[in-house]
Amino acid sequence: MSVNLLTDVDPFSEIPIETDYHYRENEIEDEDGKEKKEIPMHSPYAEPLKPEEVRWFYKDDVNKRWMEFCGYDSLRIENAWRQCMISSNGNESNGHSYTKVERVVVRGGIYDVELENMKCVSIYWPGEEWEILRGTWFYDGSYTPIESEYSKVIEEAHLRLFQKQMLTQSSSTPEFGTPSHSYKVIHTEHFTQYRIDWHAINDVVLYSEYTPSKLMRSVTSKLGFTKTTGYRLVRGYKQIATMDDKPHDIDHLVFVVHGIGQKRDTGKIIRNTTMFRECVERMKEKYFPETMHRIEFFPVEWRSSLKLDGDIVDAITPYSVMGIRHLLNTSAMDILYYTSPLYGAEVRLGLQKELNRLYFMFASRHPDWQGKISILAHSLGCVIVYDIVTGWVGFESRPPGSPQRTVEGLQFPIENLFCLGSPLSVFLALRARPPSNKLDIVPDYLCKRFFNIFHWSDPVAYRMEPLLERGYSKIEPVLIPPHGGIDNLQVELAAQASSLNNGDQSNPQSDTDEKDDSPADTPSKNADRGWSLWGLVRAGWNAKEETSPTPDVPPIQPDQELAQRLDYVLQAVGIGRNYLYSVTAHTAYWSNCDVAYFVLTKAFPTLET
């Protein structure tokens, strides 16, 4: 099996080796007073790398590339690694047996490093682990680390060549300060398809022995060409690790709750939370680089632990159209489970236990923590969280044989409840008479702020404010400013809409619009053609501004205004009649930087001021 040393590097894009060393100018002039001598910056001797010169990495699960640990984490991992590598005879260089060592808590307290497995694993939620790597040798420029098993060989050879105590025991001494243009090879280490050449203590190059074909080898040989390109390697990381390079303590914790569709994909909420966390970090670095605040997001996976019907639904599912059947059983079926008088309480209890478990686990590791806690829920998760927070027990006690459950609720206070793409208002409207004010929705003593965030084109999301005061159906929801910029899907669809409309103010319809009037304008015509889902969506897009779903509702009076707005909508930029956006809008919140900015600033209101 071939060994590819060029991790994350294209072997066909070799860069030519430059012949200039890193020199500093000496201020001493020669006899003529014209030329200046140059002296190499590095000592002609090499010593073992110090802990601060080594850098540890973890492989990002999304981009599949090596990400550096902060200096604080790297130093602690390195010190633990050096203790682990001490063998029974105390010789670190040839020791391979691990001594017992405690796990190293990294990345701000939410991951553990397991040196015996060379893994970085999540502490609070299961199923997330990343490979880690000890970086000692790197590709110059990119500082991509070389795999540990190869860098170990390179480091040992380097110390044999240049370590002072080694040189005193050697009969032959390398010629230090050799002019770079001579390019004399001091030593070579061979690997499969690659070799490492030492030309000087600070000139180590990786060469590829790969040639595309026998024909190319024969041609280059006859023409007298030799391969003189490669990758320059550097020893030690570009930045010295320091204990001051560490994340701030968590002062706001957010539990992220998923909606439907997690039965067969337990890692989806972890991936979505990771994307959202990265968006928040980008917004914080861009707009608030000096802030000392730190917000952290914990994924809450509640579906996989629930057995519910014991897979009876799968047993009664016909084999026909299995793909669609499987999709429905693993996604939409969750709605039926939750509205079921038999299983609704079990779903709530499962999520409630997981939220309390995460809280108590975090509190046990941070006994003096005085921060705040919020919940970020998506889709059906908004409904379940709401019912847990408010203590709604549903109708489980009415059917015969239904289990009786004690509602304990959450064991921690909630600062904010962020709902993304939420159908909560529909559930509330169908349960009882609409409430008359916000206190009937989420009392302040249970949750200080409630935010209903949605895309205009999200087919699952509904407004909350008209449920409290009907007049708000004529008042636009609060527009979330585009601080994070427009996401790629919006840009693409905006361009498509622009090309379709061709700048015509009359906004002619494309072929996909079937060139008919809006269903809202011509109900009889659409009635003849039958029911169409896209017709309903198109009707919403084509509705005139003066059109209101509740035309008889009088304007809202000052005494009817809500103390705090609840509905917040994301800006829709030029999406026009593109139906694709309606399909993707319900899941687009996780990578939307506008949502990330909104959550960040609402969690820390002082940032905006």
By annotation, the residues acting in catalysis are 379
Contact criterion met (CB below 8 Å) for 334 and 302: no
Cα separation, 215 vs 196, whole angstroms: 25
SS3 of residue 269 by DSSP: helix
> Hey, is 479 helix, strand or coil?
strand
Ordered DSSP codes for 284-327: HHHH-TT----EEEEEE--STT--TTTTHHHHTS-STTHHHHHH
Hey, what are 489's tokens?
């899907």
Q: Are 208 and 27 in contact (CB under 8 A)?
A: no
Let me know: does 594 contact 484? Beta carbons within 8 Å. yes
Q: How far apart are CA 56 and CA 153, in angstroms?
A: 18
- What type of residue is 461? A
CA distances from 180 to 17, 35, 204 (A): 11, 19, 12
In angstroms, the CA 553 to CA 144 distance is: 64
HEC string of 450-464 equals EEEEECCCCCCCCCC
Closest-CA residue to 124 (of 427, 294, 366, 318): 366
- Copy the structure tokens of residue 216: 């190319």
Q: Looking at this protein, which amino acid is placed at residue 354?
A: E
* CA nearest neighbour of 375 among 398, 393, 360, 359: 359
Q: Which amino acid is at 135?
A: G
Cα 276 from Cα 521, distance rounded (Å): 40
Cβ neighbours of residue 59 under 8 Å, at least 6 residues apart?
65, 66, 67, 130, 131, 132, 133
| Residue recorded with tokens 């809280």 | 359
Query: How many CB atoms sit inside 10 A of residue 348's CB?
Result: 24
- Nearest CA to 43 out of 135, 177, 170 is that of 177
Whether 486 and 592 have beta carbons less than 8 Å apart is answered as: no
User: Distance between CA 179 and CA 187 in Å, rounded?
Assistant: 16
CB neighbours of residue 98 within 10 Å:
14
Return the structure tokens found at 181.
Answer: 């243009």
Nearest CA among 338, 357, 334 for reference residue 346: 338
**∠ Cα 339 345 351 (to 5°):** 105
Query: How many CA atoms lie within 13 Å of 404's alpha carbon, on the beta-carbon side?
Result: 0
User: Phi and psi at residue 189, in whole multiples of 5°?
Assistant: -115, 130
- Alpha helices for 177-303 (secondary structure H): 214-223, 268-287
